């Protein structure tokens, strides 16, 4: 059996995120042309960002890879890179929250929220390609040298286990929200 680097799945996830960002960029350009947004698209994008890009992808980075790297004698460069990536993840979460809030205001008829939605969406579609390039080209491969093959195999198994719980988390939250709304 060929051994896969534990970063392989993370880089594959990047490709799907890039595809969704390409769709988001086209929608953003439409929003600018038409001077209106499509709240349904924005909320679908937010679902993708929150569940796939953040919970699944960033979750594996932060909860597994970064956790294990914290146990290693990292170079100052790699320690700073981890800190920077965590800050970028938090920044993306904040942009997403603000975009959701503005989209909800827009859907209630507050037309001035259009500017916030498009600004946050623009920021995200500009941010993610740079963030992904930084991880793919300058971070993932160099930090793998801190791990033995056995540790890499364990990281890969833990990532697979992490993925297997996500669908349950998603739909437990969906049901809990439905219950709260209909009490």
Quote the pTM value: 0.87
The CB-side HSE value for 109 (13 A sphere, CA atoms) comes to: 0
Q: For position 42, which CATH number holds?
A: 1.20.120.520
166 in a domain, yes or no?
yes
Percentage of the chain surpassing pLDDT 90? 80
2 in a domain, yes or no?
no
- Residues 6 or more apart in contact with residue 163 via CB below 8 angstroms: 9, 56, 60
64 in a domain, yes or no?
yes
* Residue 65 in tokens: 């890879």
76 in a domain, yes or no?
yes
Rounded to an integer, the average pLDDT of 125-153 is 94
How many independent structural domains does the chain possess?
1
1 in a domain, yes or no?
no
Give the pLDDT confidence of 39-92 residue by residue, as tens digits: 999 999 999 999 999 999 999 999 999 999 999 999 999 999 999 999 999 999
**pLDDT value at residue 12:** 86
69 in a domain, yes or no?
yes
- Whether the CB-CB separation of 37 and 117 falls below 8 Å is answered with yes
Place of tokens 């392989």: 8
Task: Give Dmax over CA atoms of the chain in angstroms.
Answer: 57
Burial of 51 (0-12, 13-18, 19+ CB in 10 A): middle
């Amino acid at each position: 059996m060929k051994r896969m680097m534990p970063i392989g799945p993370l880089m594959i996830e990047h490709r799907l995120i890039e595809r969704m960002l390409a769709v988001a960029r086209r929608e953003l350009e439409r929003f600018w042309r038409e001077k209106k947004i499509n709240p349904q698209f924005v909320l679908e994008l937010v679902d993708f960002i929150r569940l796939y890009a953040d919970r699944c992808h960033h979750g594996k980075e932060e909860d597994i890879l970064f956790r294990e790297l914290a146990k290693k004698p990292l170079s100052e460069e790699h320690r700073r890179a981890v800190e920077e990536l965590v800050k970028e993840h938090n920044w993306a979460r904040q942009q997403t929250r603000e975009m959701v809030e503005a989209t909800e205001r827009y859907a209630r008829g507050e037309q001035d929220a259009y500017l916030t939605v498009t600004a946050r969406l623009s920021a995200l579609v500009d941010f993610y390609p740079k963030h992904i390039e930084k991880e793919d080209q300058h971070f993932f491969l160099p930090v793998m040298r801190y791990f033995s093959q056995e540790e890499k195999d364990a990281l890969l198994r833990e990532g697979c286990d992490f993925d297997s719980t996500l669908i349950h988390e998603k739909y437990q939250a969906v049901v809990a929200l439905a219950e709260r709304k209909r009490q």
